[in-house]
A and B are shown apart, each in its own frame.
Chain A
Amino acid sequence: METLTTLDKAIRLQKVELFRDLETDGLALAASIAAQLQFPAGSVLFQENGPADALYIVLEGRVQLSRGGREIFATGVGETLGNWALFDEQPSLATATCVEDTSLLKIEREDFFDLLADHAEMTQTMFKALVKRVRALLALGLQAEQAGGAARNA
């Protein structure tokens, strides 16, 4: 895959849920800390229970996530891995392995925090994105609970 310019990266980042609401120049700032990396098939991006300190966006190829040796799901082009790793220091819940030659954008937590510290206006957008995500998860949980209740009643 050819080397991406900052704008190429910014355009890809706008599809990532976490960055979707950033203004375009904020996307460019986020793009400036996104490193473009190539991994051959079989490479391990991070290990289950190992340190998780970066967000990955798949540009090309496919990454398999597995837990306890069991495959959970695979992510393809445009999808992300490790969204939460940007915000907490908990170990990774799964192992990520490239199942084919894969090109990725990687944003490390430290760089991300430095960026937010220097650009307070971005922090607000990030909070909004996080809250949106938490709400969505809560809604999913409620739905599942209701579906479970309905099934029990049936």
Chain B
Amino acid sequence: METAPASRRPVSRLAEFFAFEPGEAGPTLLLTLYLLLAIASVIALKAASNGLFLTHFSARDLPFVYVAIALSASFVVGFYIRLSNRLSQHRLLIYTQLFAVSNLLVFWWMLSSDLPWFSAVVYVWTGIYAVIIPSQVWTLANHLFTTRQARRLFAIVGSGGILGAALGGLFAREVARASGTAALLPTCGGLLLACAGIVAYLWRTARQAAASTLRPKQSGPPASLLDSLQAVRGSRYLLLLTLLVSLSAILNNLVDYQFKFIVRQEITDRDQLTAFFAGFSSYLAFFSFLMQLLLTSRVMRWFGLNFAIFVLPISMLAGSTVLLFSTTLTAAVILKGADNAFRHSIDRSSVELLWVPLPARLKQQAKSFIDVVASRWADGLGGVLLVLFASVLHWSVVKISWVNLAVGLPWLAVAWLLRREYVQTLRSSIERPDISAEALLVEMAGASSDEITTVLTSADEKAVETGLGVLQYGQVNAAAANLGALLTHLSPAIRRKALAVVDSKRVPGCASEVEKFLYLDDQVSSLWLALDYLERDAAGSFRGLLERLLESPYVVLRATAAVRLLGRSAGQDQARAEAVFTAFVAGARQSEALHRQQAAELLGRGPGDAGCQDALEAFLDDPDPQVVRAAIVSAGQTGQGSLLSRLIDRAADRRWRTEVRRALAAFGPEILPDLREAMLDPARPAAVRSALPRAVASSGGQPAADLLVSILDTTDPGLQYQALRALNRMRRGAPDLQFDGGHVTSLALREVKQYYQYISLREGVPSNGSDAGAAFLRRTLAEQLRRKLDVIFRLISLLYPPKDIFDAFYGLRSGRPDLRSNALEFLDNTLQNPVRQMLLPLLESRAAERIVEHGRTFFGFGAGSYAESLGALLGESDPWLQSCAAYAAAEAGLREVAPALDSLEDAPNSLLRETVLAARERLSRPAASL
């Protein structure tokens, strides 16, 4: 069903263009304005400090102030971190800004004295200011937005930075021309006051709206710079992030030096210099702003970090290479232009995105340190490199480009590593702890062996049973002395559990107690286990023991010993053993249920050619479920092909379906073609066919997996789903199983397509009013959508690490915005196209209309009229969905769907037939009586 797109209001178009979800526009625009003002003040102050410094000093003195900035930054941030420990985030931001305003006013007053050294102080101060103030904007943004929001919205926020750079440059140029460079200081103070107002407002309003993502201050924040340093050292991700930021800062310094050196050679006048720097920044920023607004947000949305994180290092490497061959002002402008264009836009958005999935505590510990101290230290290192190469070794600006390349290439490598770590961090953030009951028991058993020994001698039978249960997972050394006595315990449950421990742990020296056990117990499996132990550990001849047991007064013990003898190499006792066993089986057929069960069980353990095997067929039809269960297990053990069909017929019966599954698995892969035939046989009940995939999975191996994948192509949704579940189970146990990626992908895309179709059809069903049929249909469609998603993720998990995919699935359904967002971001960075391209929009969009839009774009689906939706649903292959549609059509009196109903009159599904007949009857009534 195709429909024309509905006309939308300009505001909606704007929201769609920027990909705003409800409630996001306000905080985003305020943050954008905040960054605009912050960057404008930074650019204006940088222009002022450049002009002031280069009037009194030469460009060759710049490396010294870079080092001074690095050293000062450590002190400032050390203090800043201590302050952040005492103040709430918004107070920290506001107080810092007010403090900076007071500093600017003092600088303004001091500049009138025209002291050359003071221009260096202003330069250093501006260097620190230029890092702290924008970093604060991003820290706030990091707290307000989740990963997915960050990916969509950071580019918009970043555009504020670019626009701020442009306006800041123009503003600085005009103020410098009109009132002189010094006047820039108090005017920037005014901009900062506005920033403080925005922070106060944003904190108050957005905090409530994003309460779930604004986590409370956590315990153990850093108290000092050293604590922050330790936090960074303890995390590979943060170390890489520090390296990335540092290499970026070093290269920025080198390029900045080269640029300023070349400019200073061309322009000598102080105010002309200020005007050039300001003008350069402005024109570049306007260009960058347009690019950021039109391109960056889309690049971030479409490609994410995979692409964005490489843009700046690659452009810097390219610019440096150009400078190697040309030292003109144009080449310098290109290099610095590339730096400025991307550093505050796409690169900043990428680097800030790297912070979002980190836990709040880690973020709090490390962000100030990396943003300010590490980057300033890197500036200092850049300064040292410049001193070394420019001042000591007297390298030219061209030659310094080789240093650029030496720094840029590792930067690229770190970016690549960090991109991988980013996905790993997302994976960790959505991971659900995998608590294995067995692992817990092992831990319990290991931790309390002394207590278990005490428990084993207890008079409390339940306690002894529990102790034995735990012992199976731990060391038995300390408890071994008690186990022998427990083998002859009055309680059969304790005896049997003790035997299981003695056998599985190979506890030596219990032969005499195990032999006594044989005369106390009548359970075939326990007798068999006891004989296993004795065969291994008994001092005398095991065959002699079996021969003695043939004379035992207990029939089941005699029969068990006989079967054991029949399984050994031929001897004089074989005929006697066969006679004992045959007599036991024959007698059991006429005896009580326990005997029949014992006989059925022994038939599975005996050789397949034993004369009495025909009894197994009779036991499969026994009225007692225990006997049937034992017979089913034995049928699997003997592998009698003649019993296969009868086992399959019993696969859906809840009383013994587990045993049937195991028995079929015991037949091995040879029966896979028979199972396939049975699954696809329409004459067999649906319940039986749906029970078989799990049996196929139990047999394991690649052929079973291939068979189940082929079953996914069937049109029976129940069978298809069970086959998928069985495949998921197999993959969890055997991760090296191979699946046809192309085939599974096409199946996943088929489900994705149907998801879009169903959601479009649901949009055509009225959601208000008193129409119970429509409401029920909408509810059914909502359930179908949930199931589709379940199937899609199950299919995807065949191609990707299943635990990661299921963790992401649960993250999406968790109801926690941060977890959901990280799950989406993880999938976005893990899945490959075309699944990623088509699946992500339907997972991400909150509003059904948005998903319908995507469905229209991808497949041409669209929301039609109610009658059209019902017509389409009646044409589906799912009888339940068809039934709901038929009911809703009758309820709404939609006679135009009557032809579609007529075609379902003889549907094989009884519920559908019943509903269609009732709907047709209802629609045939006069209009007034509907």
Q: How far is the CB of B652 from chain A (nearest CB, A)?
A: 9
Evaluate contact between A24 and B880: CB separation under 8 angstroms: yes
Report Cα–Cα, A28/B884, bound state, in Å: 10
Q: Is B138 an interface residue (CB 8 A)?
A: no
User: Are A6 and B915 CB-contacts (below 8 A) given A23-B783, A24-B880, A118-B654?
Assistant: yes
Interface centre among A5, A32, A118 (most CB of B within 10 A): A5
Q: Of the 9-residue stretches A7-15, A42-50, A65-73, which lies at the interface with chain B? A: A7-15
The secondary structure that dominates the B interface is: helix
Report Cα–Cα, A23/B784, bound state, in Å: 10
Nearest to A23 among chain B residues (CB) is: B783
Type the 1/0 row for B774-789, where 1 means its CB is closer than 8 Å to any CB of A: 0010011001000000
Residues of A within 8 A of B887 (CB): 5, 7
Q: How far is the CB of A2 from chain B (nearest CB, A)?
A: 10
Nearest to B911 among chain A residues (CB) is: A6
Report Cα–Cα, A14/B782, bound state, in Å: 15
Evaluate contact between B776 and A10: CB separation under 8 angstroms: yes
Evaluate contact between B911 and A28: CB separation under 8 angstroms: yes
Q: Is B200 an interface residue (CB 8 A)?
A: no
Report Cα–Cα, A24/B779, bound state, in Å: 7
Nearest to B887 among chain A residues (CB) is: A7
Type the 1/0 row for A109-133, where 1 means its CB is closer than 8 Å to any CB of B: 0000000011000000000000000
Interface centre among A7, A14, A24 (most CB of B within 10 A): A7
Evaluate contact between B776 and A14: CB separation under 8 angstroms: yes
Evaluate contact between B880 and A28: CB separation under 8 angstroms: yes
Residues of B within 8 A of A10 (CB): 776
Residues of A within 8 A of B780 (CB): 24-25
Type the 1/0 row for A24-57, where 1 means its CB is closer than 8 Å to any CB of B: 1100100010000000000000000000000000
Q: Is B883 an interface residue (CB 8 A)?
A: yes
Evaluate contact between A11 and B772: CB separation under 8 angstroms: yes
> Which residues A98-152 have CB closer than 8 A to chain B?
117-118
Nearest to B780 among chain A residues (CB) is: A24
Nearest to A120 among chain B residues (CB) is: B654
Q: How far is the CB of A111 from chain B (nearest CB, A)?
A: 16
User: Are A24 and B783 CB-contacts (below 8 A) given A11-B772, A14-B776?
Assistant: yes
Type the 1/0 row for B876-895, where 1 means its CB is closer than 8 Å to any CB of A: 00001001100100000000
Type the 1/0 row for B899-926, where 1 means its CB is closer than 8 Å to any CB of A: 0000000000001001100100000000
Report Cα–Cα, A127/B515, bound state, in Å: 47
Partner of B915, one of A7, A14, A23, A24: A7
Q: How far is the CB of A10 from chain B (nearest CB, A)?
A: 7
Evaluate contact between B884 and A117: CB separation under 8 angstroms: no
Q: How far is the CB of B605 from chain A (nearest CB, A)?
A: 31
Partner of B914, one of A5, A14, A117, A118: A5
Nearest to A25 among chain B residues (CB) is: B880
Residues of A within 8 A of B914 (CB): 5-6
Report Cα–Cα, A132/B654, bound state, in Å: 28
Q: How far is the CB of A4 from chain B (nearest CB, A)?
A: 9
Partner of A5, one of B772, B779, B915: B915
Residues of A within 8 A of B911 (CB): 6-7, 28, 32
> Which residues A48-106 have CB closer than 8 A to chain B?
none
Residues of A within 8 A of B654 (CB): 117-118
Evaluate contact between A7 and B783: CB separation under 8 angstroms: no
Report Cα–Cα, A11/B778, bound state, in Å: 12
Residues of A within 8 A of B772 (CB): 11
Report Cα–Cα, A14/B914, bound state, in Å: 20
Residues of A within 8 A of B884 (CB): 7, 24
Report Cα–Cα, A24/B773, bound state, in Å: 12
Evaluate contact between B776 and A11: CB separation under 8 angstroms: yes
Q: How far is the CB of B902 from chain A (nearest CB, A)?
A: 18
Residues of A within 8 A of B776 (CB): 7, 10-11, 14, 24
Q: How far is the CB of A93 from chain B (nearest CB, A)?
A: 33
Report Cα–Cα, A118/B691, bound state, in Å: 12
Residues of B within 8 A of A7 (CB): 776, 883-884, 887, 911, 915, 918
Residues of B within 8 A of A25 (CB): 780, 783, 880
Residues of A within 8 A of B915 (CB): 5-7
Residues of B within 8 A of A117 (CB): 654
Nearest to B783 among chain A residues (CB) is: A23
Q: How far is the CB of B717 from chain A (nearest CB, A)?
A: 11
Q: How far is the CB of B874 from chain A (nearest CB, A)?
A: 14
Report Cα–Cα, A14/B911, bound state, in Å: 18
Type the 1/0 row for B373-409, where 1 means its CB is closer than 8 Å to any CB of A: 0000000000000000000000000000000000000
Nearest to B915 among chain A residues (CB) is: A7
Residues of A within 8 A of B779 (CB): 14, 24
Q: How far is the CB of A101 from chain B (nearest CB, A)?
A: 22
Q: How far is the CB of A75 from chain B (nearest CB, A)?
A: 21
Interface centre among A11, A14, A24 (most CB of B within 10 A): A24
Residues of B within 8 A of A28 (CB): 880, 883, 911
Evaluate contact between B783 and A5: CB separation under 8 angstroms: no
Residues of A within 8 A of B918 (CB): 5, 7
Report Cα–Cα, A98/B176, bound state, in Å: 94
Report Cα–Cα, A26/B654, bound state, in Å: 18
Q: How far is the CB of B719 from chain A (nearest CB, A)?
A: 16
Q: How far is the CB of B657 from chain A (nearest CB, A)?
A: 11
Report Cα–Cα, A35/B79, bound state, in Å: 77
Report Cα–Cα, A25/B782, bound state, in Å: 12
Report Cα–Cα, A52/B887, bound state, in Å: 34
Nearest to B918 among chain A residues (CB) is: A5
Residues of B within 8 A of A6 (CB): 911, 914-915
Residues of B within 8 A of A23 (CB): 783
Nearest to B653 among chain A residues (CB) is: A118
Nearest to B787 among chain A residues (CB) is: A23
Q: How far is the CB of A46 from chain B (nearest CB, A)?
A: 29
Q: How far is the CB of A77 from chain B (nearest CB, A)?
A: 14
Residues of B within 8 A of A5 (CB): 887, 914-915, 918
Q: How far is the CB of A26 from chain B (nearest CB, A)?
A: 9
What is B's interface to A at a CB cutoff of 8 Å?
A: 654, 772-773, 776, 779-780, 783, 880, 883-884, 887, 911, 914-915, 918
A-B residue pairs, 4 tightest by C-beta: A24-B780, A7-B887, A5-B918, A25-B880
In the assembled complex, 29 residue pairs joining A and B whose CB atoms fall closer than 8 Å, in A order, are A5-B887, A5-B914, A5-B915, A5-B918, A6-B911, A6-B914, A6-B915, A7-B884, A7-B887, A7-B911, A7-B915, A7-B918, A10-B776, A11-B772, A11-B773, A11-B776, A14-B776, A23-B783, A24-B776, A24-B779, A24-B880, A24-B884, A25-B783, A25-B880, A28-B880, A28-B911, A32-B911, A117-B654, A118-B654
Given A7-B883, A24-B779, A24-B884, 4 additional A-B pairs, CB 8 A = A5-B887, A11-B772, A11-B773, A28-B880
